[in-house]
Structure 1
């Protein structure tokens, strides 16, 4: 089983419109509605690959009830902490078909108390005992210190679970201190670790060396349509993305992580795991729904990908 932790769960709504002119009224059809937040997206993808998943984190109010109801309908296991301080957030994505651009409106999540955080730590400890891989994804809501991922990762690892961290900012920096097995920043998030925007992929090489020296076994930097660069136990890999005609790139990173977690839980080699992850990230972009892949697309796209050792 794979456990995912989503501190900022959401209801995601995606509207697809012919054009999205700013400052004008736009009539939209019915939105695509699904439970969201990065970890929840990962859990959904894990189930699409046929592996059991357990989603945990925080939910609140009627929106929180809707999130767990939808997860039950998708056969995704869940054990969330219900917060008393407000509603889980709504996140809107508006896809302009004319330009191909996606605009996201992301609400903040409800505040979390120290007692609720303590309850989540207990759930993570229990879930990690039943899981091969634990994935910690997404932003940190109000009221939670940026050290939260460091503490949760340490708890999961103490239970013998392989851990993956996919977040940004101080949460990423603090989480690295717990020495997760794998981190996966994207090209923008990695700037926090570099101290500057990424301009050339060669700038990642010394960073990888520092991360490996700190006890991070694997670091993967996703580069959008350019694929990814990864380091694992001293070996550097470059994985080009397959060529596709994307319709929505929101959630591609979550599908990438979901496929990566499935492969690692299955004992696959790092090369195979990276190929499957790159294929899943591309497959996600072929659908309007974030955090959704068709397994047949993943299989087809994986045949187009080869890993290069640097």
Structure 2
């Protein structure tokens, strides 16, 4: 069982507009309201790849049924921790040129009771987990070292932990030496305080993370694909997708592919192949943070993976 902790659940409003005009009235041509958040995207993508998965996240009274129903439909076992405050709302506007403009809500500030409830749910799930994924931002009220502490608990339980975070949360997570750490280029540049312009620079950053005790650091590079490193060496994977419709959530789907491959004890080379195919499959669909299994399978053979020895 793969367990995903996606604390900062959101309600996503996906809207299609024509020309997006700032300071004027804009009318939507199409819209969807779906439960979201990075952890939720990871979990539903893992389920789409036919691996058992459970998700721990927040719910509020207004959206409890929406989230539970969607997760059930997607094959995710959902453990919702209900809070009194409303969930955060996120808006993604897709204009006629295919550009995505995001407005991300701040979300509730959790008190000690809510934080304790999430911790209890996490510890219960950890007992039956083979692999744990910590993904996304933290609600207000959580300390920046929260993922670091949880990663240490996972390691103490003899399980592998995968972390996707940014800013101070990422910085603290490095010190906990999780099995896998997956920053994107912007997050890695902020972490190391320097530009990461290409694959060579990305591999150098991975070497530093390995030296700090991360067994399998992976860095996603957008259109350049992704690089990963473990005892077998450094590997670069990339693919030319079809029509790109929505890249938001591709990093989450990438992480889901890595988690599934690791759970199946596949090599890093094959893990990157699946992860890159998942990220590209998401980009070809309108919905954020979800892949169609047939689309992933169609892309797998097109992913190029090579050992990076330069």
* Pairwise TM-score range, normalised by the shorter structure: over 0.9
2-structure distance, mates of 1:44, 1:194? 31
Over aligned residue pairs, what C-alpha RMSD do you find? 1.6
2-structure distance, mates of 1:300, 1:176? 35
Q: Which residue of 1 aligns with 2:276?
A: 278
Tell whether 2:108 aligns with 1:125. Answer: no
Moved more, 64-73 or 115-124: 64-73
Matches within 5 A, 1:52-201: 52-84=52-84, 86-97=85-96, 99-201=97-199
Deviations 1:166-219 (A, max 9, x none): 110000011111111101111111012211232343223333222112210111
Conservation of the 8 A alpha-carbon contact between 1:179 and 1:216? yes
1-structure distance, mates of 2:64, 2:102? 20
Q: Which residue of 1 aligns with 2:221?
A: 223
Q: Structure 1 residues 194, 201: closer, same or farther in 2, change over 3 A?
A: farther
Aligned-pair distance for 1:82? 1.9
User: Is the partner of 2:236 in helix, strand or coil?
Assistant: strand
Moved more, 149-158 or 181-190: 149-158
2-structure distance, mates of 1:12, 1:252? 15
2-structure distance, mates of 1:309, 1:175? 27
Aligned-pair distance for 1:64? 4.6
| Residue in structure 2 matching 1:259, options 252, 257, 260 | 257
2-structure distance, mates of 1:113, 1:64? 20
TM-score by length of 2: 0.94
Deviations 1:15-65 (A, max 9, x none): 122322222222214412221100000011011111121110333342355
Conservation of the 8 A alpha-carbon contact between 1:71 and 1:77? yes
2-structure distance, mates of 1:266, 1:205? 25
Deviations 1:93-141 (A, max 9, x none): 11012x2100111111211122322222222222122122211111111
Q: Which residue of 1 aligns with 2:200?
A: 202
Deviations 1:278-307 (A, max 9, x none): 001000011000111111111111101121
TM-score by length of 1: 0.94
2-structure distance, mates of 1:280, 1:205? 22
Deviations 1:258-292 (A, max 9, x none): 11111111111111111010001000011000111
User: Is the partner of 1:80 in helix, strand or coil?
Assistant: strand
Aligned-pair distance for 1:12? 1.1
User: Is the partner of 1:34 in helix, strand or coil?
Assistant: strand
2-structure distance, mates of 1:199, 1:4? 31
Aligned-pair distance for 1:2? 1.2
| Residue in structure 1 matching 2:212, options 204, 211, 214 | 214
1-structure distance, mates of 2:151, 2:134? 8
User: Is the partner of 1:90 in helix, strand or coil?
Assistant: strand
Unaligned stretches of 5+ residues in structure 2: none
Aligned-pair distance for 1:89? 1.0
Count matched residues: 308
Unaligned stretches of 5+ residues in structure 1: none
